[in-house]
Amino acid sequence: MNFESQGQLPFVGLINVLKLPGMSSHSVISRIRNIYNIKRVGHTGTLDPYAGGILLVALGPATRLCDYLDAVNKTYRAEITIGYHSISADAEKAAIKVGDVKNITDEDIFAASREFLGTITQTPPIFSALSIDGKRAYEFARDGKEVKIKTRQVDIEEFNILNITRENDRIKVMADITCSKGTYIRSIASDFGEKLGVGGMLSFLLRTKTAGFELKDAITCDELFEIKREGNGEEFKYIMSPDVGLTHIEEIVLGQEHDNYRGGTNIKTEKADGLYRVYIEEDFLGLGTVTDGILCPKVNLTGQNIPFKTKIES
């Protein structure tokens, strides 16, 4: 059944999808549309085609929450190859030998990693989906045109080196990196090699955590498709209430006497100014903002089909 074409209320929720290397983020969205027969599907935090890991997919009106779901720090398992570089800063383009790594010590590598902690300035790769004058940066790069990409500040919460492997003319460093929205791990890899004076590139990337979701709980599109083929509706078990990914936002719980909030009525509150998850008892209603003691709907999901009673613990 197509929930939208049948005129029924669209269901709302999130799916923790494991995007496999070789797939684009857009192709994941296309497959989810087909599996659940729903048009309105979005995702948070694009992953490059060669990368794998969590792609958090939003269904129906939950797509209106994507910006808020994407605002949290994310964790990646990354392999940085030292001694080589590529124009894309990853394995998508040909690797070019840059420097001799024989004098690079483990302590040099650990010291370099510590320099990335905190707020840093980085330049996104030219081969990226950044919009510049109405075009994607990679379009300029493919045409061989020079374009200036603005630097940005990002926050690196953790840079934990797990393993260092020496392979002839290169060193491979495996690390877990937790960083803010908008961080390019490819740029970290390239800058890491520059700090060591021998070049660097990203040779493997896996997103392992985002918005409270973990890799161990993710499911692939192929698995969802096979579950759907069985015809017992089990694929719907993997849709979670959208508030599960919003624990970084404080909550307001209203009583049934404030049921008129569902229709857009503002509510008096003693909460401080700010953004909140809003519930009536255990029903998640969306996001609201408090200004001068008045709670107003910001993203109102009332009237939608949220088949969950899962008020989460902050």
**What are the CA-CA distances from residue 191 to residues 84, 124, 251 (Å)?**
12, 11, 39
Q: What's the CA gap between 22 and 50, in Å, rounded?
A: 5
Handedness of CA 34, 37, 38, 42 (dihedral sign): negative
- Pairing, β 251-254 against β 283-291: unpaired
Backbone angles phi, psi at 309, to 5 degrees: -125, 70
Catalytic residue among 48, 70, 243, 283: 48
Nearest to 191 by CA among 179, 274, 307, 48: 179
Task: Return the H-helix or E-strand segment holding 29.
Answer: helix 25-36
Q: Could you tell me the maximum CA-CA distance found in the chain, to the nearest angstrom?
A: 71
Catalytic residue flag (residue 176):
no
Nearest to 122 by CA among 183, 45, 210: 183
Beta strands (DSSP E) in the chain are 13-19, 41-44, 52-59, 74-82, 84-85, 96-97, 118-122, 131-132, 135-136, 152-167, 170-179, 200-210, 213-214, 251-254, 267-268, 274-280, 283-291, 294-300
Q: What's the CA gap between 159 and 155, in Å, rounded?
A: 11
Active site residues: 48
